[in-house]
Each structure stands twice: as C-alpha cells, then as structure tokens.
Structure 1
Amino acid sequence: MIIETRLARRLTALALTVLSLTACGQKTPEPAASADAAKAPSAQQAQQQAEAAAAREQEAREIAVDAYIFGYPLVTMEMTRRVMTNVEAPAGSHAPMGQFVRMREYPTAAFTDVTAPNADTLYTTVWLDVSRQPWIVSQPDMRGRYFLMPMLDGWTTVFAAPGKRTTGTAAQKYAITGPGWQGKLPAGVTEYKSPTSIVWLLGRIYSSGTPEDYQAVHALQDKFTAVPLSTYDQPYSVTAGRVDASINEQLAVREQVNRLDAVAYFKLLASLMVTNPPSADDAPMVARMARIGLIPGNEFAAAELDPMLLKGLAEAPRLAQEKIAGWMKAGVEAGENREENGWVFSTRTGVYGTDYLQRAFITAIGLGANRPQDAVYPTSEADADGQPYSGANQYVLHFDKGQMPPAEGFWSLTMYNADFFFVDNRLGRYTLGSRSKFSTNRDGSVDLYLQRESPGTDKESNWLPAPDGRFILMLRLYWPREKPPSILDGSWKIPPVKRIE
C-alpha cells in the first residue's frame, strides 16, 4: 500500500476539489485584491454557488454509485473469504486458507455463507493466496463422475474451469499461479494463471444423495490436496488457522456487505485493489473513481474530501443496491438477460468484462456462478400471470413427456426464500431434479408441485415445499446440452409456473 503523509493527502484532497469545481464549469477563485474588494455575494452569485455545490454533490453521487457497483464483487469475495476461513481447522463449510472444505452432505437451511447454494453436489472448495507463490492442486481419478472445479479470481471471474466437460475425469495436477509469477513448474502440472492474488476454487462433485453415494464421494474428496509449490513432492504439514473474534459469523455475508457505510466500503475496496488489481479494460472506471479520491493502493481519506463530495458518497450504498436488485428486470429490457415464461436467465455469467452491473447482480443472487457452458440458472419470482410467488397459494410446473430440462451433467429445481437461502421443511428437501424419482401422469408428463402443504402422499415425490411467504425458484442446468433441444440456443423453452385455482 502506498503511504502518504498528511500534507500529501491534504494536497490530494485540494486537487480533487479543484477538479470537481472545474468539471462543473467553475474557475479556481483568485485571491482577494484587498479587504475593500471583499463583498458579500450577490443573489445571482449565491445561486450560482448553490448550483455548483449541487452539481458537485450529484457528480460525486453518480461516480460513487458506479464505484460501489464496480467493487461489489471484490468486497463480497473478501467478506466471504474472511467468514469461511475464520477457523483453526476444517469444519463443515469452513476451513483455513490453503485447506480444503470437504462438505460431507448437501447444505441445509442453516447455510448462509453464500447466496443460492445448491443441494445436488458436495462442495469441495479451497481459498488460496497466490501472491507469493503458486499452489498445486492434485485431483484424483473421478471415475466418470460429474464434477466441476471452477477457479474464481477476486472479481468473481471464472478464469479456469477444470471438470468433466473440459478436462475429463482422469487424475490431474494443476498449478494456480499469481498475476506476476514467472517460473518453472514440475513436469505434468498444468498452469492456470489467476489475474488476482486471491483465488476461490469452488469445486462441486455430483452425488445422488444416498448414504452409499455419499461414501463414494467422500473417498474422492479425501484425495484432493493443495500444497504450495515450494513444498511440492515434500512432506507438507498444514498449520492451524488464526481465528479473528471480530469477524461476524452469525450474519449472512451479503447482509454484512450491504450494511457497510460508504466510507468503510470504499476504504476496504481501495485496499483490496492492491493485490487484486483491476484489469487493463477497467482503466476508464479507475480514472473515474479517482475523481472521488478512490485510488487503488491509496488510503481512502474521506475526512479530507470536499463536504459536497462526502454528501454525495453517503447515499451510494442505498442507490447502488437498489440498482443491483432491479437488474433482473432492467437487464431484460437492456437485452442482456432473457425472459421466458416468467423465468429470467443469462448466458453472461462467469466472464463479465466491463459489464459491471451484471457482475454485481450475479454476485448478489448467486455468488460463484459458472460460465454458461457449465451452468445456466433460470430464476423466477412470479407465476405465469406475473404475480409474485406466495406460500399462501399452490403452483404446478408441468413438463411434457420427453421435455425435461436438457443437461449433460444434471438439472435441478431449487426453492429459496426471499433472500435466496433454503427453505426449512419437514422433509429436508430443497430441490427436485435429475436424481428424483418422479411419479408421472398417464401420458408420461411430469407435474411438480410447489406449495407449503403436502399435495398428498401419492404426489409427495413431486413436491417442493414452499415457505409461508414469498419465495423464489431457480432452475439449474449443469453442462447444458449444446445441440437441440438446448436452452442455450432457445430450442428448448422453460415451461411457465401456473397457479392452481
């Protein structure tokens, strides 16, 4: 981090004020010629000054909203990392840096580390810091089983995705290297270069959910290892993690991020951009953020900014969060997302370029989303008539014979509450999909029942329990079929969810 003297920071703040004045069409004031020349401003001058101040405030607000959206993925990733690695040893969904999380069963309704979790795979994940040296991951022979090991950089970009679709299921070794690393790797090790120092290997291994299949997946999970390059082919002992008592383990990460005020948020963002630098394509945004004193590597000295700038900054979190939340609908109108029978989805996930709002939106509703070739996530908040889902009603999703979701990996339909977390229910059922044993209609079609109460014992195999209030549905197609019928080219259409009268 660049250390500045107090004087330097004051000069920087003064320069920013001058730039803001200039941008608003105001000239830097000349020194007074004499005391006699100093006069109270006229009404016209007072109005001009007020308009200039309002313009500075508005400009700061607009830049701050854009900066908030730009940094939302990086801040969310950091807050997620802090929570998930704040343990001495692996336990449940948490593990220290450099040590694998090996979840032994599907997540439950108590899981709130990330939004929109799935209940089809056993998460096998690790957080790595590749700023000093590469880490080498060893993957066992997966014996034909579907799995996916996407690697996310600090900005949530999936920069590599080893898995059954891309690299097959044979045993593999790969090195994850940092942005500035140059060196030689051991023979037989594939390099994946991360654009940032922080990397989240968010692995998923498919399981049918039976005790026997759980055991088979556990055996595979135990063979995954991660070691620093310096200890490769040498005995390696992990060290205990350090627990930070100040980290909030109770409040969902997204809520922690959303509760940060503008100053705390931008201070964290500025520090994170040192080891997780914006890409070259982000240069215009970096220059824009500098106008409000937000510079990678510099301390965000909010106290020394023009009061009008600070006033504009203060509203940024609320305005940006509203803009992010509204992107599901606005993204359709902008042509970046697709809407089909009440379902909204996008094939712009995993790799975002300069599409900052899309990236922030995906972070908010499904942190860790994959590339579309690996997964598509149609989401629905309202029925076929456009009415929001409610547990007070009963719904059905009908699939004609031979028209189940076309996926080479697996598909599933998941029920979430209004915050994109699982809905607790007596069956412990959060999803229906490829592994479900559905009862079929006489014509071979399948009806899925989405409601709070059981539709009856004869239909319970097709029942996805809903909460009392509002809920959200997400359809997952892992490794979606590329040839017709395919959701990717529109040759397969998602049927509407209809309310049962």
Structure 2
Amino acid sequence: MPRLKRTAFAMALAATALAGLPGCRPASIARATTPSTGGALAGASELPARRALARELYVAGVPLLARYAVVHARNIDRGGAEYQGPLNVLHWVTDSAESSRAEPGSTVSASLDLRAEPVVVRVPALPAERTYVLQLTDLQASVPAQISSRSTGNQAGDYLVVGPGWHGEVPVGIVDVIHADTTLVSVSGWVQGLDSDSARIQQTLQRGFQVKPLSRHLAIAPPPATLDDWPQPLPADMARHSALFFAQLEALLSFAPAQPGEVDIRQRLQQLEVTPRSTLAQAATRALREGMADGQREIDQRRAALSGCDAGDADAAHSDAITRACAAQRTSQEG
C-alpha cells in the first residue's frame, strides 16, 4: 500500500509551545532545541508569558481533549446516551432513504485501543463497482492512513495498526504497518451500497470488515490487560474556558507518549502550575483564560476562512495545529 503523508504532530506541538515566548528558537529547529527545566514562570513578564504559553498550548491541546471526549462518549462511557459499543469493535449504521448522503451505503466507526498491543484491520475483497473508505485519525487529529478503494484498491488485506514505541515482529501476510502517534485511534468509514443489495448481502459485506487485537489475529495468548482508568472528559464549556483544560491535557498525554528527540510538552505544562487541586493567583488564572480565548479566536478565524474545517478532509488533518484544532472541534460538535 502506498504510504500517505502523515503529520509529526508531537514536533508541531513542541514548536507551537515555544513559538509564542520571547527568545525562543524558530519552529523549524524545535526538534533540536534543549527542553526547559520546566520551572515556574516568574518575573515582570510572567503574566504576558503565561498568556502566550496558554494560547499555544490551548491550540495544540484542543484536538486531544475534543477527540478523546468523542471516544469516551462512544466507546467508554457505557451508561451514556451516545454509547455505541466497546473499543476494538466495528459499529455499523445502514444509511436510510432519508439520509443526506448522495449514495446509499453503510457508515462504520470504531475506536482502537493500542495500549496493550497492536490491532489488525481487515478489509475484504470487493467488486470494482463498490467503493469504500476507512480513515484512521489519532487523538491529535492527524491521519496516519486512509485505507480505501481509491488508495489501496479493492483487494482483500490485513493492516497492522501500531501505537508509539511498538517494535514487535510484523506477522506474515500483513499488507502494511500503520504507525499512530497516540494509543487511541478512531476509525470512520463508509461502504457503498448497490441497488441489488439485500439485507443478507449487507450483513455479509459488513462481516468482511474486521478489527481485532494482534493476539487474537495470531490465535495466541494476549498480553497483560491495561488498567481502564479513563479520565473523565471536561464538559464542553469548561474545555474552552476553564484553566482545568491544562490539567486534563496533561492527563491525556498518557495516550500520546513523547517521541525521542522532541521537546517534551509536559515540561512546558509544568510552567503553568495547573493541577486539578492547584490554587493560582487571580491574575495568573485570568492570564490563562485570556490565552485560551486568544487561541479560540485563532481557531474560529480559521474555521471562517476555510468554511468549516471539514473534519473528514485528510489534507486539512495534515495541516497546521490551528486547522487540526478546528477540525477536532467540529468532530466533537457533530458527534
């Protein structure tokens, strides 16, 4: 399968975190920049620097909070109204005649949990007249790959989706390895329907698409299970206006391990001194909220300029941090 271009989001995350502060190096050499010690902001420039850093970290962190909130609602919060089913399972919806989609077909979604082991995505062989697309999007709104009749053809294939830091052996028969920068990855897709499709044909077609942990694919014992200690997402309003945004961002970085040679955003977050139980001075808290508002204005301006930031546009998802934040917020709003 021809590899698609992909965004090194963690590098952009570090670059944007540094860009707003005086005396920082250009983003183009952020990877070579020595990380700060993570000391607290201080001095006469503390409030402007705090506001600038909050703006950059807000824009960079919006995708993690927005996309995690969607994954949590659909595949983790079993008692919630939006719950579709568990992780690592495909969930299908057959489009009705009243659907706004121009062509009939079935939509599919899933959330892949890569914390314990990789996941295999299997697509069946399809006739040439039937099109399909499966887009993988990580928590940082980057698109590691798109498996589709257009990009990979209509032949059957198994694709191995691996999380950051995985160095295992690739099994025989894998068409391609898809590397994700986060350990939670969303799958969204659509399979074209034909006029001749019966309910039985649709069910057979859907069963041909599968996701399964690597151990199940190989019929071997699974690795030790990971703890299901899922952070509770912030309410949408708090995610845009509360300083607790930064505390949740730090918690969600457990799903986005730092890559070797990159500035560690965790050290930048430490400078803000925000935790769920921290008590900042009123002026410091106001500077954080003002920085968040600055970042949201940039996102809103980009949304207006791009007429909406289509969350399904792979080119937009591979774009800069502001466009990714815009696309992630649209995904969160649309559900």
Fold shared, TM-score > 0.5 on shorter chain: yes
- In the other structure, the counterpart of 1:127 is 111
Shift of 1:311: 2.2
Residues 186 and 284 of structure 1, relative CA distance in 2, 3 Å threshold: closer
- Cα pair 1:262 1:316 within 8 Å, conserved: no
Shift of 1:87: 6.2
Shift of 1:198: 0.8
Residues 284 and 133 of structure 1, relative CA distance in 2, 3 Å threshold: closer
How many residue pairs match? The answer is: 287
- Of 323, 330, 334, which residue of structure 2 is paired with 1:365? 330
Q: 1:68-107 to 2 correspondence within 5 Å?
A: 68-86=58-76, 94-105=84-95
- Cα pair 1:302 1:310 within 8 Å, conserved: no
User: What are the superposed Cα offsets for residues 54-88 of structure 1, whole Å, 9 maximum, x if unpaired?
Assistant: x5333322221221111111111110001111466
Q: 1:422-433 to 2 correspondence within 5 Å?
A: none
- In the other structure, the counterpart of 1:205 is 191
Q: Which has the higher helix share?
A: 2
Shift of 1:105: 2.2
Counterpart Cα distance in 2 of 1:102 and 1:265: 33
- In the other structure, the counterpart of 1:185 is 170
Residues 267 and 318 of structure 1, relative CA distance in 2, 3 Å threshold: same
Counterpart Cα distance in 2 of 1:223 and 1:235: 22
Question: Tell me, what secondary structure is at the counterpart of 1:202?
Answer: strand
Counterpart Cα distance in 2 of 1:280 and 1:125: 32
Q: 1:261-280 to 2 correspondence within 5 Å?
A: 261-277=241-257
Give, as a single letter, the amino acid of the residue that structure 2 aligns with 1:136. V
Q: 1:278-357 to 2 correspondence within 5 Å?
A: 283=263, 288-293=268-273, 300=275, 303-329=278-304, 331=305, 348-352=315-319, 355-357=320-322
Counterpart Cα distance in 2 of 1:321 and 1:149: 30
Counterpart Cα distance in 2 of 1:344 and 1:78: 18
Shift of 1:215: 5.6
Give, as a single letter, the amino acid of the residue that structure 2 aligns with 1:59. A
Residues 106 and 284 of structure 1, relative CA distance in 2, 3 Å threshold: farther
Question: Tell me, what secondary structure is at the counterpart of 1:180?
Answer: coil
Counterpart Cα distance in 2 of 1:229 and 1:178: 12
- Of 33, 51, 58, which residue of structure 2 is paired with 1:61? 51
Residues 234 and 280 of structure 1, relative CA distance in 2, 3 Å threshold: closer
- In the other structure, the counterpart of 2:181 is 195
Counterpart Cα distance in 1 of 2:133 and 2:120: 17
Residues 95 and 229 of structure 1, relative CA distance in 2, 3 Å threshold: same
Counterpart Cα distance in 2 of 1:214 and 1:259: 44
Shift of 1:182: 1.4
Counterpart Cα distance in 2 of 1:130 and 1:278: 16
- Cα pair 1:73 1:155 within 8 Å, conserved: yes
Give, as a single letter, the amino acid of the residue that structure 2 aligns with 1:127. S
- Of 153, 159, 175, which residue of structure 2 is paired with 1:174? 159
Counterpart Cα distance in 1 of 2:334 and 2:183: 29
Counterpart Cα distance in 2 of 1:317 and 1:207: 44
Residues 235 and 79 of structure 1, relative CA distance in 2, 3 Å threshold: same
- Cα pair 1:84 1:95 within 8 Å, conserved: yes
Shift of 1:185: 2.7
TM-score by length of 2: 0.70
Give, as a single letter, the amino acid of the residue that structure 2 aligns with 1:16. A
CA RMSD in angstroms comes to: 4.1
- In the other structure, the counterpart of 2:21 is none
Larger Rg, first or second structure (1 or 2): 1
- Cα pair 2:124 2:208 within 8 Å, conserved: yes
User: What are the superposed Cα offsets for residues 112-138 of structure 1, whole Å, 9 maximum, x if unpaired?
Assistant: xxxxx9675522221111121111122
Bigger relative contact order (CA 8 A; separation at least 6): 2
Question: Tell me, what secondary structure is at the counterpart of 1:196?
Answer: coil
Residues 307 and 119 of structure 1, relative CA distance in 2, 3 Å threshold: farther
Structure 2 gap segments, 5+ residues each? 1-36, 222-227
User: What are the superposed Cα offsets for residues 273-319 of structure 1, whole Å, 9 maximum, x if unpaired?
Assistant: 1221356797386665443236xxxxx36625454322211334444
Give, as a single letter, the amino acid of the residue that structure 2 aligns with 1:257. A
